[in-house]
Amino acid sequence: MAVLCNQRAAALHRNRGEGRRSWLRGVVVAAILALMALSLLPAAAQAQIGSDRYGAIVIDAASGRVLFAANPDATRYPASLTKMMTLYLTFEALRDRRITLAEPVPVSAHAAAQEPSKLDLRPGTRLSVEQAILALVTKSANDAAAALGEMLGGSEERFAQMMTLRARALGMAHTTFRNASGLPDPGQVTTARDLAILARHIIADYPEQYRYFSTPGFVFHGRMIPNHDHMLTSYEGADGLKTGYTEAAGHNLVTSAVRGNARLIGVVLGAASNPERDQHMAAILDQGFASLGIPGSGIVLARAGAMKSGAPKWGGLIASAHAATLPASFRNHPHGAQPSARLATAARWHKKHARLVHEASAHLAPHHKPASHAAHAAVPAAGHPGAQKRPLPQPPTLT
């Protein structure tokens, strides 16, 4: 009897040991499966969403209606997205006949000394205005941006003041510029919403010049300069605008895409890498188009090796970004204030900007005679896909 009890006790002990080992094996397997599942998540879910650099927004370009937003008004560093405003003021100068596309842009020692990315311009040389534009939209050349700023403003510092005043006149209430390139400066800040406003104005105000943003590359001094914006070749309907990166800002992107008869503008700030940035932009643009009843997945993630079979769908991840509730004022008007108040504020900034432009224009060639703003305000709504189907409304002329 005692032997039988001992045998039963030993068997019970063995069973308990097996139970413990089985439980431990289960915990280890569950941990491994969890890590495998985490590895399948898109990078943006792991690093970007919730990052203290992250901000994003998607708007309908025709109406300005916000379709997706996460930290849209949080202050961020624009990096080379700054060049969108440099180009906006360049297009403005072309419209007002203060400069021409063929006009030479002098390269100063200051401009040539800018940090990369750059064309490696040498002090005392020149490039044309059109070459400078192409250098900004493709290589994001900081030396060309500084040279343009010095030409249009007399100095890069004055040009940055012009950029800030124009930003405020456009309704970019939380943006301040300190240079023409986007190179690091603690005082140069913006928001995702402000950049969406700027992109919308570029497309609406200068539809003919907007075509530059889809340039795949250009030849400069025998070198082919490719476009840094991979969304142009990987996302259905994408036709611009701009990439940007600094260590403090993270990887930034503004993209406009047309699908069906709708154009959307997306902004992603603070991504951890270029692939993460592009994937997240594709996801929120897809979500925006879907909200308008336009199906389809724009980016070919499988070709890029960015999405594995069985990975979670992006839609469920975007919700974790805590999309901002849009204030009633923004629902009623795309620029975030009642039209009368907004126009009054914008008009004040516009007048300040106009005075600075007039002062800065004194050093330009005397044969350029600036035309009035009103004479060139009505620009044909053409030059981009879908324009005839759904033209963008022209913003009111500020006086």
Q: Give helix then strand counts, H and E, for the chain.
A: 14, 9
| All structural domains of the chain | 54-376 (3.40.710.10)
Span 191-220, pLDDT tens digits: 999 999 999 999 999 999 999 999 999 999
Q: Is 139 a catalytic residue?
A: no
Q: Residue 209: what pLDDT? A: 96
Q: Residue 14: what pLDDT? A: 52
The gap from C-alpha 115 to its chain's centroid, in whole angstroms, comes to 21
The encoded tokens of residue 47 equal 């690093």
Neighbour-count burial of 353, counting CB atoms closer than 10 A to its CB (0-12 exposed, 13-18 middle, 19+ buried): buried
Residue 254 backbone phi and psi in degrees, to 5:
-120, 125
Q: Give the chain's residues under pLDDT 50.
A: 3-5, 12, 23, 27-47, 300-338, 366-399
Per DSSP, helices labelled H in the chain are 2-40, 43, 83-95, 109-112, 129-138, 142-153, 156-169, 192-205, 231-234, 274-291, 301-304, 314-318, 328-332, 339-360
- Catalytic hit among 118, 139, 140, 297: 140
Q: Is 80 a catalytic residue?
A: yes
Q: Whole-model pTM?
A: 0.69
The gap from C-alpha 333 to its chain's centroid, in whole angstroms, comes to 22
d(CA 291, CA 283): 12
Span 143-174, pLDDT tens digits: 999 999 999 999 999 999 999 999 999 999 99
The encoded tokens of residue 163 equal 């950029």
- Catalytic hit among 80, 117, 234, 297: 80
Q: Residue 52: what pLDDT? A: 86
Please say whether the beta carbons of 318 and 68 come within 8 A: yes
DSSP code of residue 46: I
Q: Is 309 a catalytic residue?
A: no
Q: Residue 339: what pLDDT? A: 54
The encoded tokens of residue 26 equal 């289960």
- Catalytic hit among 83, 118, 139, 242: 83
Q: Which residues contact 60 (CB under 8 A, 6 or more apart)?
A: 67, 262, 263, 264, 288, 292
